[in-house]
Structure 1
Amino acid sequence: MLIPEVLVCPISLDLMSDPVTLLPTGQTYDRPSIRRWLAAGHRTCPVTMRPLPHHTSGGSDQSALLAPNRTLKHLIDRWLLLADLALPTLRDNLLDVAAAAAPESAPTVAAVETLRIIRSLSPPGFCALLLRLVTLRRSDDVLAELALGCLLASPSARELADALHEEKKLPSSFAFLLRQGSPKVKTALCRLIHTVGAVAVDAVVALGRSEPVMVALAALVRDDTDGAASEAALRAMWSLSSSDQASREAAVAAGAVDALLSYISSGGSRRRSPSCAPWALALETLELVLVSVDAGRQAMYARPGATAVLVKMVFMVPSRQDRVGGGGSGSEHAMASLLVACRESAEARVDAINAGLLTRLLLLLQSQCSPRAKANAMALLKLLRAIWARH
């Protein structure tokens, strides 16, 4: 079953769930898509490019331009009913797609439409087939992107986790796609790892213990320049490193410490403030591997300027979304990593003093910091007292 063109949003190119008509031009769009368009400041119709009356990004202002298209909504509901009755046919089509999948073959229109319908319906029972398609399509084509989109839209996280747990080719296939896939495929794979790891750690243990997977994630965290793939890879690395000790050791062996420090030291170059959630997550992941893996601490000591990078993250002013006490969650994780490093290395203690850690700790203690931040700050001050006296 092909999705009728009249039911597809011109912006998202997906089946519309809440069709609305843009009153000045008569064009119909899915409500979430056209609202994002207007909220972004666009003052034209996406299809006709005709200018729209003056509006702001506010909700009430948008509502004056939009009207529900109830006739089209009724047609969509009827089509979905027919599509739901056709699920056995969709399953057979997907089996045919997986059987014919090959890196050198171009995706057929029928294959693309089958996946688009599955993504729109999000039916249960398709995760294993979709995952098989991802592992077979060892290329960065549209089918891999669509199959991953279907998996991420799965209504059952448990079904998705079971499918990952049963698929034996995952580590090698995921490592390949994380290296060679398109940016969209890489980002979707990382989101999939993070999503499943949040509900079923056992389903991602094999991925976490795979050094090739960790090498690919570390490369994305360190080298990706557009920010989307690196942030997704960071979340995936955190999920895998949280699963067990062997995964943390694999992460360290794959160069995770250097990648995380590079990410943290990049500051605002990736279009975010260092106090936003991704940087706090990078610091939390770094703390995780430094606390539990000896080789992780050695990797940190071997990197010039690593201590100074962490000192800069102490007493960072948190964003409103990330506020945790006065110092923010990023400060807590930075101090915890510094505490581990300074306990073991006299050189790290000197570097911390020279980087201005004492001033930051004193400022932090005067703020309304969290109990954990205060405890870490006091422990660091006691640890550095002897060197402080000499300075």
Structure 2
Amino acid sequence: MPLYEERKKDEPLKMGEVGVDLKLMIDELDSVEVPSVFICPISLEPMQDPVTLCTGQTYDRSNILKWLSLGHKTCPTTMQELWDDSLTPNTTLSHLILTWFSHKHTAMKKSLEDIQGRALHLLDTLKRVKGQARVRALQDLRELVGSHSNARKALEENGGVALVFSLLGPFTSHAVGSEAVGIIVGLDLSYDQLKGSLMHPAKVSLLVDIMNEGTIDTKMNCAKLIEMLLVEGSNEVVSSLSLLVGLLRLVRDKKHPIGVVSTGLILLKAIVCSHESVRISVISLGGIPLLIEILPSLNNECLEVALYILEVLSTLEEGGMALKECPNIIPNVVKYLMRVSERCTQFALSILWAIYKLAPEECASQAVEAGLAAKLLLVIQSGCNPVLKQMSSEFLKLCSLNYSTSILISKCMLTSTIQ
């Protein structure tokens, strides 16, 4: 809602306009804590036209009139019977309310003007300065845009977005690039705006370099920006080996909160799912043993994403071979069956299936020793989806080919249930 227009100094304040002006101010100051004496006991909203009953209680005129129109003959607050239903305007309180909101509104307008002016000043500064002065200006602008919607609006309406994008180029320092990316991810930009400004090899290369060498906040910002660029599968981004290296570093990071790993996993999932050539690159870069290594440290949400990526990679022959070569891969995957979620169980079973196709006897033996048969029986007996049950049943039959019935039953540790 636009700010209410200031009156000319010589224009008198008409009584008929007070309510309108006050309503606009109340609406625009809805996040401000209002003194309780200004609040109507009926609506719990600021009063615009306070009136007092014979009981001495004050209400907003429209609210008390509604109360009386419903046939009530009592005061809503005290429940005293009204011996006089006349409403007396509380002019003193009305003046106090209008004055209080006017002062607050004027202060808000000045603050907003200061914020917008500060944003415009920083934009002008960015056009003139270079080096460390440019970095400082970007830092100030990033903080301002991140804290105030009016600063973002000033940026968008005065060519600031294009200016920030123009700072990303082949000769941009990582310090400038990091701050520019931090500003961009804080804006509500469309895919077309991003594509038009960033889909150039030099800028994509810079973005990847910044992510690989920046601070952890910068890495996360770059990952978010790249994810935004993947809306329609931009080949300029996903074909970058340095990007994949940077993502695997992000996923492996052990020094920072799980949110960092989650950001890397989500972006890696988006890339791996859409391009087969990228899957081969991830496998060749050692992505599979890395993911297997970090599985025990992941929370349930990240674990599901990591298992999904491994399942996708396992559909390639190279992926199956890489999985097979991981130490203790089968017992490590078996333990995730029926542990976290139905989706995790399905992903883990698909991974085991890919290994089984390459080495049936070895896989079946290790899997049963790790408790696979018992887990499969639990899946079959549970309320899981029919596809997962069918997969479990078929896998159990394949495992049984390598064991006698009595040995398989003893491995299940569910003898009474099976019999």
Task: Settle same-fold status: TM greater than 0.5.
Answer: yes
Percent of aligned pairs with the same amino acid: 20
Distance 1:238 1:221, change over 3 A: same
Distance 1:134 1:165, change over 3 A: closer
Q: Does 1:230 align with 2:261?
A: yes
Please state how far the C-alpha of 1:378 moved relative to its aligned partner. 2.4
Please state how far the C-alpha of 1:310 moved relative to its aligned partner. 1.4
1:110 paired residue number: 137
2:181 paired residue number: 148
Aligned residue for 1:384, secondary structure, equals: helix
Distance 1:388 1:173, change over 3 A: farther
Give unpaired runs (5+ residues) of structure 2: 1-28, 36-99, 409-419
Distance 1:246 1:84, change over 3 A: farther
Distance 1:84 1:279, change over 3 A: same
Please state how far the C-alpha of 1:282 moved relative to its aligned partner. 0.5
Say which of 319, 322, 331 aligns to 2:345: 331
CA distance in 2, matches of 1:111, 1:223: 28
User: 1:153-172 counterparts in 2 under 5 A?
Assistant: 153-159=186-192, 161-163=194-196, 166-172=199-205
Per-residue displacement from partner, 1:299-338 (whole Å, max 9, x unpaired)? Answer: 1111111222211111114xxxxxxxxx432112111221
2:44 paired residue number: none
Aligned residue for 1:368, secondary structure, equals: coil
User: 1:249-260 counterparts in 2 under 5 A?
Assistant: 249-260=280-291
Please state how far the C-alpha of 1:355 moved relative to its aligned partner. 1.7
CA distance in 2, matches of 1:18, 1:297: 59
Partner AA of 1:313 in structure 2: Y
Distance 1:92 1:247, change over 3 A: farther
Distance 1:84 1:107, change over 3 A: closer
**Aligned 8 A contact 1:193 1:239 in 2:** no
1:313 paired residue number: 336
Per-residue displacement from partner, 1:351-372 (whole Å, max 9, x unpaired)? Answer: 2222211111111222222334
CA distance in 1, matches of 2:262, 2:387: 26
Q: Does 1:218 align with 2:241?
A: no
CA distance in 1, matches of 2:276, 2:142: 38
**Aligned 8 A contact 1:284 1:333 in 2:** yes
- Which one has the largest radius of gyration? 2
Partner AA of 2:305 in structure 1: L
CA distance in 1, matches of 2:162, 2:290: 33
Distance 1:256 1:149, change over 3 A: same
Distance 1:380 1:178, change over 3 A: farther
2:395 paired residue number: 380
**Aligned 8 A contact 2:247 2:268 in 1:** yes
CA distance in 1, matches of 2:180, 2:110: 25
Q: Does 1:188 align with 2:221?
A: yes
CA distance in 2, matches of 1:213, 1:168: 13
Aligned residue for 2:210, secondary structure, equals: helix
Partner AA of 1:212 in structure 2: S
Distance 1:108 1:131, change over 3 A: closer
Distance 1:259 1:96, change over 3 A: farther
2:378 paired residue number: 363
Aligned residue for 1:122, secondary structure, equals: helix
Partner AA of 1:153 in structure 2: G
Aligned residue for 2:401, secondary structure, equals: helix
TM-score, with length taken from structure 1: 0.66
**Aligned 8 A contact 2:168 2:177 in 1:** yes
CA distance in 2, matches of 1:263, 1:313: 13
Distance 1:288 1:19, change over 3 A: same
Partner AA of 1:385 in structure 2: S
Please state how far the C-alpha of 1:260 moved relative to its aligned partner. 1.3
Distance 1:73 1:241, change over 3 A: farther
CA distance in 2, matches of 1:381, 1:164: 54
CA distance in 2, matches of 1:94, 1:110: 7
TM-score, with length taken from structure 2: 0.62
**Aligned 8 A contact 1:339 1:376 in 2:** no
CA distance in 2, matches of 1:73, 1:303: 66
Per-residue displacement from partner, 1:341-389 (whole Å, max 9, x unpaired)? Answer: 2122223333222221111111122222233432332232233231243
Aligned residue for 1:330, secondary structure, equals: helix
Partner AA of 1:264 in structure 2: L
Distance 1:75 1:177, change over 3 A: same
Pairwise CA RMSD of aligned residues?
A: 3.4
